[in-house]
Structure 1
């Protein structure tokens, strides 16, 4: 009596051995006892065997593709984890291209900036030839993002980077290993990642350039401010206050003094505009005024003004700038003031306690040439001459209200009996209080001239 192990089949039956292969299972199922080629069942078995063989081949290919896909995913992960701490350097680009070489299975990867090879990784024995091939593909299809050439064994892509240069990335596989449609998403992803790095490099370069320009402006500002007299001349008969406060790193306001014999020459000016151009013209104007003061020390104020106008007019016109200027001279022995006002304000003469506006007699320099017309007055007692720039009267408070000419005139009237330094300090302090923390939008300059009583 034959038995089976519990749970393997009914008692008394012997289970046949399991077929060793799928083909054997098919033959056992069909009960083939005759040669395959002589029966319809044999032909069917042959078809089934062929289908199973193809299935096994597909299964093997899918397994290999899955392994390759997993390898690619791991490589992409390492690609995204490249340390970009030094992204401002080309070392990061070289590292990314090295990973791209592995990811794409390429033999050579080139990064082209315009028509030059910026970086190359992999086999570079025929670098010039590969670069020429990439350039030819770009010229042939300049509007395409991706171009496949050389029997589909090379891909040349254009990167979308906001820089002054055009960037292209070229991949070259060995002959016979074509790029397929499935490679395009990978190539596009690498291009996007590399584009970000190149954009950071460009941003870093611009920041360095901006810092260099800022440093140059800082030096220019220091040089420009050094051209202004540090302190006004000391006189036993004329009390003087002078201060300028640039609103930015470099400003266009200035004052300049020169004492010649028994006279004190002065000028207060404002070059239209801000920044480095205004500062450059400001230093030129200061130099022109000093030369005019010394060359015409014994002449009328109109001669000195004409000398400055002749020196600066053409330069201002060519640059599209203009200069408002008050140029004058005070005679120490008698207190007589003669000045020419070229489109400048505010200019106030507080005479006998009453503020009087000294209006412009000629346009600002650089607009039109005019023969200067002087204004003359005599300072005595508590009289004073106050020459400011528009940064004072145009200072705004947090509610966008300007300080204005009326407040400025009232301030001069209220403090005109005090010494010139105190008048100047009070005006600056009052304007600062009015601003209530609102930053100045323009430079502020102030000069105050007042006659001192004769020593006993």
Structure 2
């Protein structure tokens, strides 16, 4: 191939129009220029590919690190072994973020790292937000990355200072730190939930025990005495409650029934109820007179109770001849039912434990086969799903329509009607019902 043919071939490759009769030198210069430009383009592409590979490699390392951190905190353990997990995570993060110093502080848990809290925290404005201090922005730290650990609540923070290679913290470093903080917070959320569940179960177990104890404080059996028949029930709104009832037979063969309702519900009311029961057990044996018994009980409780605590109580004492002495200290009305005729006697005194008071008895004479009904306000204030109360009208209607013969039958009728009225509504107050029946004067052994 001669020079002219070579010239024409080069011109064809370069897609140029060139007069090859004038020589090939100018065309060779153009070819050399194009080759140099092509070499530069290849070098730039190689550098770009290298940067891309480096970025992909870093991304892979970051993703791999986050997956390992996720596995460390995703594994459910109890106890959590938090310090051991944090040490593993810090080793992983050091390879990716390449920080010089660090601090992980968890409030009420632990603090690990080689930084000082007293130096870091004054530099942070809002501890619940990520803070990035760049070079020249702080007198103490040339470069700092602060990330809060927040889940269902604020737990603490993770902080990194300085880069091993002298660089600055990047957006990628911030993203990894924030993701790590989320994993830690998620683990702490689960731990917090588990602790609450354990505490709830422990409390529930203790309340169940308390309920058993309280149930045992109520009469296990009703004293048998010829002239009175009785039945009763008590259902707390929660595991334990503040309602109370009891039966006593005096040396004079008088039958005493006590129904009480402590202000409040649950454990505080149950504790006060227990104290009332203990005082009453002692006073019944030392105060044969009903008025003295009630006044003495009030004096004791006034000394022991705070201003926001009191007890409504109904004391019903029946003698063999049908004489009934009633002291209603702020309690619900007591009903007397005889052959469809209903009489209601309201409270005539203030509740027990508020202040000194002279309690006086109300005396009536019962006819044989008279029912006496005492109860707590959990009966009349029972609510249905619409929020409507059972009320006194429904109670009185049930009593007037009752055709049974025994206290057990009347008690069951009341319980069924209240339960049917409430439907699926939750019981919101303790409910106690005591039903007595005076059967007439009989020989008492």
Q: The TM-score by the shorter chain falls in which range?
A: 0.7 to 0.9
The TM-score, its normalising length taken from structure 1, stands at 0.78
2:210 aligned residue: 220
1:157 to 147, 154, 157: 147
Q: 1:245 touches 1:445 (CA, 8 Å); kept in 2? A: yes
Q: 2:314 touches 2:326 (CA, 8 Å); kept in 1? A: yes
Segments of structure 2 that go 5 or more residues without pairing to the other structure are: 11-27
Question: What is the CA–CA distance in structure 2 between the aligned matches of 1:11 and 1:140, rounded to whole Å?
Answer: 74
1:445 aligned residue: 432
Q: 1:228 touches 1:286 (CA, 8 Å); kept in 2? A: no
Question: What is the CA–CA distance in structure 1 between the aligned matches of 2:109 and 2:367, rounded to whole Å?
Answer: 77
Deviation at 1:96, TM superposition (A): 4.7
Residue 391 (structure 2) pairs with residue 408 (structure 1): no
Q: 2:334 touches 2:374 (CA, 8 Å); kept in 1? A: yes
Residue 76 (structure 2) pairs with residue 86 (structure 1): yes
1:308 aligned residue: 297
Q: 1:346 touches 1:389 (CA, 8 Å); kept in 2? A: no
Residue 120 (structure 2) pairs with residue 137 (structure 1): yes
CA deviation string 1:112-159 (max 9, x = no partner): 1238744x4xxxxxx5xx142x44111332425335587556534322
Moved more, 233-242 or 436-445: 436-445
Question: What is the CA–CA distance in structure 2 between the aligned matches of 1:50 and 1:397, rounded to whole Å?
Answer: 86
Question: What is the CA–CA distance in structure 2 between the aligned matches of 1:138 and 1:65, rounded to whole Å?
Answer: 33
Aligned CA-pair RMSD = 3.7
1:24 aligned residue: none
1:170 aligned residue: 159
1:202 aligned residue: 192
Question: What is the CA–CA distance in structure 2 between the aligned matches of 1:439 and 1:55, rounded to whole Å?
Answer: 74
1:271 aligned residue: 262
The count of residues paired between Structure 1 and Structure 2 equals: 414
Q: 1:387 touches 1:447 (CA, 8 Å); kept in 2? A: yes
Question: What is the CA–CA distance in structure 2 between the aligned matches of 1:223 and 1:51, rounded to whole Å?
Answer: 89
Whose RCO is larger (CA < 8 A, sep 6+)?
2
1:19 aligned residue: none
Question: What is the CA–CA distance in structure 1 between the aligned matches of 2:6 and 2:106, rounded to whole Å?
Answer: 83
Question: What is the CA–CA distance in structure 1 between the aligned matches of 2:109 and 2:68, rounded to whole Å?
Answer: 29
Residue 306 (structure 2) pairs with residue 317 (structure 1): yes
1:180 aligned residue: 169
Question: What is the CA–CA distance in structure 2 between the aligned matches of 1:313 and 1:192, rounded to whole Å?
Answer: 55
Evaluate the alpha carbon distance shift between residue 100 and residue 91 of structure 1 in structure 2; reply closer, same or farther with a 3 A threshold.
farther
1:370 aligned residue: 357
Segments of structure 1 that go 5 or more residues without pairing to the other structure are: 3-9, 16-27, 33-40, 121-126
Residue 275 (structure 2) pairs with residue 284 (structure 1): yes
CA deviation string 1:231-277 (max 9, x = no partner): 22111221111211222211111101222211222210111221111
Question: What is the CA–CA distance in structure 1 between the aligned matches of 2:62 and 2:414, rounded to whole Å?
Answer: 73
2:382 aligned residue: 395
Question: What is the CA–CA distance in structure 2 between the aligned matches of 1:279 and 1:350, rounded to whole Å?
Answer: 31
2:321 to 322, 334, 340: 334
2:343 aligned residue: 356
Q: 1:388 touches 1:447 (CA, 8 Å); kept in 2? A: yes
User: What SS does the corresponding residue of 1:442 show, helix, strand or coil?
Assistant: coil
User: What SS does the corresponding residue of 2:368 show, helix, strand or coil?
Assistant: coil
Moved more, 384-393 or 189-198: 189-198
User: What SS does the corresponding residue of 1:247 show, helix, strand or coil?
Assistant: coil
Q: 2:99 touches 2:164 (CA, 8 Å); kept in 1? A: no
Q: 1:383 touches 1:416 (CA, 8 Å); kept in 2? A: no
Question: What is the CA–CA distance in structure 2 between the aligned matches of 1:293 and 1:345, rounded to whole Å?
Answer: 22
Deviation at 1:196, TM superposition (A): 2.1
User: What SS does the corresponding residue of 2:74 show, helix, strand or coil?
Assistant: coil
The TM-score, its normalising length taken from structure 2, stands at 0.79
Question: What is the CA–CA distance in structure 2 between the aligned matches of 1:115 and 1:282, rounded to whole Å?
Answer: 38
Q: 1:323 touches 1:366 (CA, 8 Å); kept in 2? A: yes
User: What SS does the corresponding residue of 2:314 show, helix, strand or coil?
Assistant: strand
1:20 aligned residue: none
Moved more, 60-69 or 267-276: 60-69
